[in-house]
Amino acid sequence: MKIVDLLKRESVELNGKVTSKPETIEKMVALMAAGGNLADVEAYKKGVFAREEESTTGIGEGIAIPHAKTAAVKAPGLAAMVVKDGVDYDSLDGEPAKLIFLIAAPDTEDNVHLEVLSRLSMLLMDPDFRTGLMEAENVDAFFKCIDEAERKRFPEEYETEEKSSENISDETQVMHTVPEKSGYRVLAVTACPTGIAHTYMAAESLENKAKEMGITIKVETNGSGGAKNVLTAQEIEACDCIIIAADKDVKMARFDGKPVIMTKVANGISKAEELLNEATSGNVKIYHHAGGEDEEGQVADESLGRKIYKSLMNGVSHMLPFVIGGGILIALSFLVDGANAGTSSFGSGTPLAAFFNTVGNTAFGMMFPILAGYIAMAIGDRPALMPGIVGGLLAKAGTSIFLPEEQWVSSGFFGALIAGFVAGYLMLLLKKLLEKLPKSLEGTKPVLLYPFFGILLMGVIMIFLVNPPIGAFNTWLNNCLASMGESSKILLGAVLGGMMSIDFGGPFNKAAYVFGTAAIASGQIDIMAAVMIGGMTPPIGIALSTLLFKNRFTKSEQQTTVTNFIMGMSFITEGAIPFAASDPLRIIPPCVVGSAVAGALSMAFGCGSRAPHGGLFVIGIIENAPMFLVALVIGAVITMAGIVLLKKPLNTEK
């Protein structure tokens, strides 16, 4: 569907005057309404704003493409506006938007908006095209610029019937035509999580740069509408190198034995020349696929440490929603049940509190099996998920035949970690041992042999080998911390607070948290307060930094301010993870110091918490709450000060 066919003169504004993103959307919707495409203007506007809440449509390079697919649209349409002075549109690159195209699509099975999005994205990657639109003196010139660009980019749509017999394929229409025998020197696959703009922008950037460099290329786009221009086996066999510019999984088995470059989709846009130079250098390492035809592979020379880290992160990323959602529900149960504070029924003394507590604890209790299951799956693929989950459940229960049930000690977080890695490598071993079975038994592996031997062996390993020593280790750790508390409460508070910020939800954090929750049962509620304040400090300190010292953070980092305030107040330490991951040396040390100070002050002020979660949502049941808030503010300010001292202002001259 051509751009010029969707635009109407009434829906084009060449001298837009807007000062904010909401005002821009209001103006664009008005232009769309002037074209007569809308049945319900307010409903359509609501849809556009709802789409922006998911993620910004300011795709960078001065371009924004808001859109909505809704029943409020009578017929597909476009509206366009040129804002010569630019407007802050929360674009991904932080730059003002100067060209805004609004797409309206009816709520039908046809994904018109996706077709138009991909078409616009490809056209707008051409800087000359963007300049032509910006400098158009009138609407006629604006339409002419688009028409010429479409004729050049999509010539097949303008060919006469006499030429249709040439049967030009979609592949040669979109990519650079090369002789059939020579093939393509470089192949590429582009894919972004949403599968819309950046997928096609990366493809266009690689194609344009390859044309400048005289390199033949074909790009497969894995967009939201499915894979387009799919690479054939013959093309893969004949090419010199494949570039994978993707932020999501793509099928990798087909590239086994070929030189492969793996990178982010953003690099496909901004570093096209660098990627193409590397692809044609002859120095790219060969990719070796491990897994089935539809499974994601690993680079052959990937270090063991990197593999372990990726497997761990796979488990943690799947675990976090259970921890966060369940934890907040548990906190709500304590908040609702404040009248029962100090009683054995605290958190379940009323029907509503009991509901929150039951659901929250059920979700929270899935933390260990989900962690272990998805670590295992990252190593041994889908068959390893089941023994990993079973191992995580056994770690949680602390099952041991050496002790009566009342003396079982959960091997907890450390046990679940071990269970995940053991299950993953155990399944790899089982696959190896069973690969020589007759082909007639192949179908029994996933439904009988893997489950039976996986559960049996994981049970033996967890009950006999993992739970006893790791459970004893947890007991020893708790005893050490308890004895430390008797000699110096303030030092204990500093240690526990610092532990909460060393790894933001990792083993040290979990060890401190488990100790804090266990201490509640023995009446040491001051320990739980120190643990909680230590976990709240990092996100709040980072939020203060992004709020008060914007010049040290990117546009996207600045947009996390409110989120980190909320996560910090909710006792969700994981809000600090993105910052720690991107700049560990300048983020982690200030967080550890700030949390240690906050934990020590909480102990010194005699603060206490009977709730194991909730943050400021349970402030009403925290002993000496005013001084708890003081300690939290001091710790957050120290964190902020450390970050600001270590991080230099960003270079914004470029």
**Cβ-proximal residues to 112 (8 Å cutoff; 6+ apart), any chain:** 1, 69, 76, 103, 105, 106
Greater confidence, 445 or 391?
391
Please determine, for residue 635, whether its predicted confidence score (pLDDT) is greater than 90: yes
Question: In the prediction, which pLDDT does 455 show?
Answer: 93
At 482, the pLDDT band (50, 70, 90 cuts) reads low
**Is 67 in the active site?**
yes
Greater confidence, 550 or 439?
550
Please determine, for residue 653, whether its predicted confidence score (pLDDT) is greater than 60: no
Please determine, for residue 175, whether its predicted confidence score (pLDDT) is greater than 60: no
At 400, the pLDDT band (50, 70, 90 cuts) reads low
Question: In the prediction, which pLDDT does 113 show?
Answer: 61
Residue whose C-alpha is closest to residue 218's, from 279, 157, 144, 296: 279
As beta bridge partners, residue 97 has 87
Give the Cα separation of 633 and 484 in Å (integer).
Answer: 26
Please determine, for residue 172, whether its predicted confidence score (pLDDT) is greater than 50: no
Q: Token pair for residue 75?
A: 């017929």
Residue whose C-alpha is closest to residue 509's, from 549, 489, 488, 537: 537
* DSSP letter assigned to residue 613: S
Contact at 8 Å (CB) between 434 and 449? yes
Give the Cα separation of 471 and 454 in Å (integer).
Answer: 22
Q: How far is CA 91 from CA 15, 272, 360, 484, 560, in A?
A: 20, 21, 37, 51, 15
Fold agreement (3-158, 172-279):
no
For the segment 501-518, the average pLDDT, to the nearest whole number, is 72
Give the Cα separation of 415 and 467 in Å (integer).
Answer: 7
The CB-side HSE value for 208 (13 A sphere, CA atoms) comes to 19
- Residues 47-61 have pLDDT tens digits of 999 888 877 888 888
Question: In the prediction, which pLDDT does 540 show?
Answer: 95
For the segment 487-516, the average pLDDT, to the nearest whole number, is 79
- Element at 562 (helix H, strand E): helix 561-569
At 45, the pLDDT band (50, 70, 90 cuts) reads very high
Residue 405, Ramachandran bin (φ over 0: left; ψ between -120 and 50: alpha; else beta): alpha
Please determine, for residue 182, whether its predicted confidence score (pLDDT) is greater than 50: no
Question: In the prediction, which pLDDT does 344 show?
Answer: 59
Q: Token pair for residue 280?
A: 């044609």
Give the Cα separation of 379 and 58 in Å (integer).
Answer: 37
Question: In the prediction, which pLDDT does 110 show?
Answer: 63
For the segment 318-337, the average pLDDT, to the nearest whole number, is 71
Q: How far is CA 439 from CA 430, 434, 443, in A?
A: 16, 11, 8
Greater confidence, 413 or 148?
148
At 605, the pLDDT band (50, 70, 90 cuts) reads very high
Give the Cα separation of 555 and 565 in Å (integer).
Answer: 17
* DSSP letter assigned to residue 257: T
Q: Token pair for residue 586?
A: 């300048």
- Element at 273 (helix H, strand E): helix 272-279
Burial category of 182 from C-beta neighbours within 10 Å (exposed 0-12, middle 13-18, buried 19 and up): exposed
Greater confidence, 302 or 557?
557
Q: Are strands 97-106 and 77-87 parallel, antiparallel or unpaired?
A: antiparallel
The CB-side HSE value for 329 (13 A sphere, CA atoms) comes to 19
Residue whose C-alpha is closest to residue 617's, from 300, 338, 342: 338
Greater confidence, 541 or 580?
541
As beta bridge partners, residue 63 has 60, 99
The CB-side HSE value for 526 (13 A sphere, CA atoms) comes to 20
Question: In the prediction, which pLDDT does 512 show?
Answer: 82
Give the Cα separation of 543 and 36 in Å (integer).
Answer: 45
Please determine, for residue 594, whether its predicted confidence score (pLDDT) is greater than 70: yes
* DSSP letter assigned to residue 135: T
- CA max distance for the chain: 94
Q: Which of 67, 113, 289, 613 is catalytic?
A: 67
Question: In the prediction, which pLDDT does 523 show?
Answer: 59
**Is 289 in the active site?**
no
Question: In the prediction, which pLDDT does 171 show?
Answer: 42
Give the Cα separation of 650 and 146 in Å (integer).
Answer: 37
Around Cβ 480, how many Cβ atoms within 10 Å? 11
Please determine, for residue 392, whether its predicted confidence score (pLDDT) is greater than 80: yes
Q: Say whether 271 sits in a helix, a strand or coil.
A: coil
Most confident of 245-254, 480-489, 547-556: 547-556
Give the Cα separation of 332 and 320 in Å (integer).
Answer: 18
Greater confidence, 355 or 441?
355
Q: Which of 145, 192, 239, 591 is catalytic?
A: 192
Helix axes 467-487, 385-397, angle to 10 degrees: 40
Question: In the prediction, which pLDDT does 305 show?
Answer: 67
Give the Cα separation of 202 and 225 in Å (integer).
Answer: 16
| pLDDT > 70 in the chain, percent | 80
Q: Token pair for residue 621?
A: 């049941």
Give the Cα separation of 261 and 246 in Å (integer).
Answer: 11
**Cβ-proximal residues to 18 (8 Å cutoff; 6+ apart), any chain:** 24, 27, 81, 83, 87
The CATH classification of domain 3-158, taken from the options 3.40.930.10, 3.30.930.10, 1.10.287.110, 3.60.15.10: 3.40.930.10
Q: Say whether 79 sits in a helix, a strand or coil.
A: strand
Question: In the prediction, which pLDDT does 198 show?
Answer: 67
Q: Say whether 106 sits in a helix, a strand or coil.
A: strand
CATH number of the domain located at residue range(s) 172-279 in this protein: 3.40.50.2300
At 170, the pLDDT band (50, 70, 90 cuts) reads very low
Residue whose C-alpha is closest to residue 103's, from 92, 113, 93: 113
Q: How far is CA 142 from CA 126, 154, 560, in A?
A: 15, 18, 38
Please determine, for residue 412, whether its predicted confidence score (pLDDT) is greater than 90: no
- Residues 189-248 have pLDDT tens digits of 987 644 455 677 788 889 988 888 888 899 998 765 567 888 888 888 889 899 998 766
For the segment 552-570, the average pLDDT, to the nearest whole number, is 84
**Domain boundaries, given as residue ranges, for the chain:** 3-158, 172-279, 488-654
**Cβ-proximal residues to 90 (8 Å cutoff; 6+ apart), any chain:** 21, 56, 58, 555, 559
C-alpha triplet 71, 77, 78: angle, nearest 5°: 130
| pLDDT > 90 in the chain, percent | 28
- Residues 58-115 have pLDDT tens digits of 888 889 999 888 888 888 889 999 999 899 998 877 889 999 999 988 887 666 666 7
- Residues 246-300 have pLDDT tens digits of 766 677 888 888 899 988 777 888 788 999 999 988 888 888 876 544 444 444 4
Give the Cα separation of 77 and 75 in Å (integer).
Answer: 6
